[in-house]
A and B are shown apart, each in its own frame.
Chain A
Amino acid sequence: MNPASQARTPDDDEIRMIIEELRSLEGPLLPMLHRIQDRFGYIPPNAMPLIADALNITRAELHGVVSFYHDFRAAPAGRHVVKICRAEACQAVGAARLAEATLERLGLGWHGTTANGAVTVEPVYCLGLCACGPAAMVDDKVVGRVDEDRMASLLAEAGA
């Protein structure tokens, strides 16, 4: 949920602890992946065999699950993640232009990270802010009626 948490290399014991905390849930895999990503900023490679073993699934199966979902990262993102809504309601008020201008300004494609590691820009399909678009989210903070100026100040605050 918080992709911008400090990315660091975790040790196996920390991961094992998270797994233990959650393994008694019904359907514990997504909660585990979320908590690991919240803690480390991505799903570190050394987490994979530990999870697979604990849940008694193959690594291939686990990889299939992790790669299915847009949320889970195989590598850390920038220090901040800026998500720009691409869905229809925001398109109706100029979100496509905003997204284009933002990416161009930063010289990035979707999912790209600025050279200084400050900001990763990602598309999102709906933030539920459809009556006050174009909408964006900086880490977990929502922003409505974003125009290019507003985006510029958000990016500046994030250190892009």
Chain B
Amino acid sequence: MIIYVPMDSAAKALGADDVAATIRSEAKVRKLEVQIIRNGSRGMVWLEPLVEVDTGEGRIAYGPVAPDDVPALLEGRMETLGPVEEIPFFARQTRLTFARCGVIDPLDLADYAAHGGLAGLRRALAMTCEEIVGEVTASGLRGRGGAGFPTGIKWQTVLGAEAPQKYIVCNADEGDSGTFADRMIMEGDPFSLIEGMAIAGLGVGATRGYVYLRSEYPDAIAVMQEAVARARAAGVLGARVLGSDRAFDMEIRVGAGAYVCGEETALLNSLEGKRGVVRAKPPLPALEGFFGRPTVVNNVISLATVPVIFERGAAAYARFGCGRSRGTATLQIAGNVRRGGLFETAFGISLGEVVDDIAGGTASGRPVKAVQVGGPLGAYMPREKFHTAMGYEEFDAEGGLIGHAGLVVFDDTADMLRMARFAMEFCAAESCGKCTPCRIGAVRGVETIDRIAAGDARAVPILTDLCETMKDGSLCALGGFTPYPVMSALIHFPDDFATRKEAAE
């Protein structure tokens, strides 16, 4: 009997390590032949620790499993959720980037290869640089880190640059609240990121790569470091990638707790050992990036999606999606939700379907008040905007942004003035300090919102003006987009900005 117990940090945070240890000891007592595999997470976080038992007839799910449930689990007396892939939340997905996550042993390279891994890299090794970049362009892949910039165009720029050394830098800073797709894939299928970076290296002529991984993710750091060591030992990385005459190697670097280092140029400064201050563009990192050399900076999900594009072909990937948003979105459903977790699906699904239907509304059972989409710099979407389709242009048209595709759900007890204040406070705390509207404006923003809270209605137009100034006068999206959550809260939930005043009168 094979028993799968996830080693994903969300599963661990809910007790998966204790469950695995109890299974081991209880199986021993019962003299049962049990092989425990620590897989990644299937992404159904409300069911974690989600344990799968395979007795030869497919993987049957149980969850959430507590250590106390283990005797019943081993004796076949625990209530089952049925075959794991038939759980509706899972069955409704289109899993391309996350096809292997939760399925395989994350650190078993043979298991990885048995599930389609390395097929993309092998194909890329037989292609020219131009063909590789062309394939990415044809797939329609856009950056999943926030801005949605076409990945193929970025790679083309780096390919076209002449330099003695080029770099692939993976942005694994994942600072946005409500996002955990990067963490999940790094913990659950780390070789897909390594393979994606190797293909990127072949495509643009870069032989060195770095993953800039946030320090708040100790589990992901450990898994990635081990995966890189194993990939190197197996010849996937190194002087001769898969026995070819092409070289690519990479290292894991740990961030140091600064949100702004998720911004690509601040990230490069940090990687170089400097303060994580944003650089003015131009020059583009694609031309003058890490130590001034041409550098691809891509998000984890962008890079981890590259292998499946090469395995199945650009056209097969581009077949999914809507409008100019091709392929799949790896939605992260978070906050106050009944069914939270990772949901990968073709772009085009509506926000309302995700929140009401897939997530099943709030965990508290109260009405949904707002959904913040796209992290701390994303707008609060009220129910009136639930028709909005998950697509870059579609969200933009509704005054929002998809960002890294995290959705944070709030019930009707949320105080939107307080959330707006938090957005300003966060911006003030995390500002790199380069532009005045961001550095000083955010501090003023907090004060102005406090005035509104104290009943001063004249402060409302001041807040609006301040947001305009921040939007226009900021170098990067930290100062430039903080107005999104603030203004969306103010516009869509005016009552939360008025009640105290009226109460005071």
Q: Is the pairing of A and B real?
A: yes
Interface contact B175-A89, CB-CB below 8 Å = no
Of B131-139, B146-154, B176-184, the one touching chain A: B176-184
Q: Which residues of B contact A90 (CB under 8 A)?
A: 177
- Which among B48, B251, B408 is the interface contact of A130 at CB below 8 angstroms? B408
Interface contact B183-A128, CB-CB below 8 Å = yes
Of A12-20, A67-75, A101-109, A111-119, the one touching chain B: A67-75
The verdict on B188 contacting chain A, using a C-beta distance below 8 Å, is: no
A69-B258, A132-B45 given; A89·B335 CB < 8 A: yes
- A contact patch SS: loop
Q: Which residues of A contact B277 (CB under 8 A)?
A: 68
The verdict on B419 contacting chain A, using a C-beta distance below 8 Å, is: yes
Interface contact A30-B259, CB-CB below 8 Å = no
- Which among A34, A132, A141 is the interface contact of B10 at CB below 8 angstroms? A132
- B contact patch SS: mixed
Instruction: Output the residue of B254, B258, B290, B341 with the most chain A CB within 10 A.
Output: B254
Interface size on A, as a range, is 35 or more
- Which among B177, B215, B274 is the interface contact of A1 at CB below 8 angstroms? B215
Instruction: Output the residue of A69, A89, A91 with the most chain B CB within 10 A.
Output: A89
Nearest residue (CB) in A for B275 is: A68
Interface contact A131-B256, CB-CB below 8 Å = no
A92-B414, A93-B335, A130-B179 given; A55·B273 CB < 8 A: yes
A88-B372, A140-B218 given; A130·B177 CB < 8 A: yes
- Which among A28, A55, A124, A130 is the interface contact of B180 at CB below 8 angstroms? A130
Instruction: Output the residue of B177, B219, B254, B422 with the most chain A CB within 10 A.
Output: B177
In B151-198, which residues have CB < 8 Å from any A CB?
A: 174-180, 182-183
Interface contact B276-A69, CB-CB below 8 Å = yes
Interface contact A128-B215, CB-CB below 8 Å = no
Nearest residue (CB) in A for B333 is: A131
In A104-160, which residues have CB < 8 Å from any B CB?
A: 124-133, 135, 137, 140-145
Interface contact B256-A69, CB-CB below 8 Å = yes
The verdict on B410 contacting chain A, using a C-beta distance below 8 Å, is: yes
| Residues of A in contact with B (beta carbons under 8 Å apart) | 1-2, 25-31, 33-34, 55, 64-65, 68-72, 87-93, 124-133, 135, 137, 140-145
Return 20 A-B CB contacts under 8 Å, by A number. A1-B254, A27-B290, A28-B273, A30-B270, A34-B215, A65-B273, A68-B275, A70-B258, A88-B422, A92-B336, A92-B410, A93-B363, A127-B216, A127-B217, A128-B180, A128-B220, A130-B408, A131-B333, A144-B10, A145-B13
Knowing that A70-B257, A144-B10 touch, tell me 7 more A-B residue pairs with CB under 8 angstroms: A72-B256, A87-B177, A88-B177, A89-B408, A92-B334, A93-B363, A132-B46
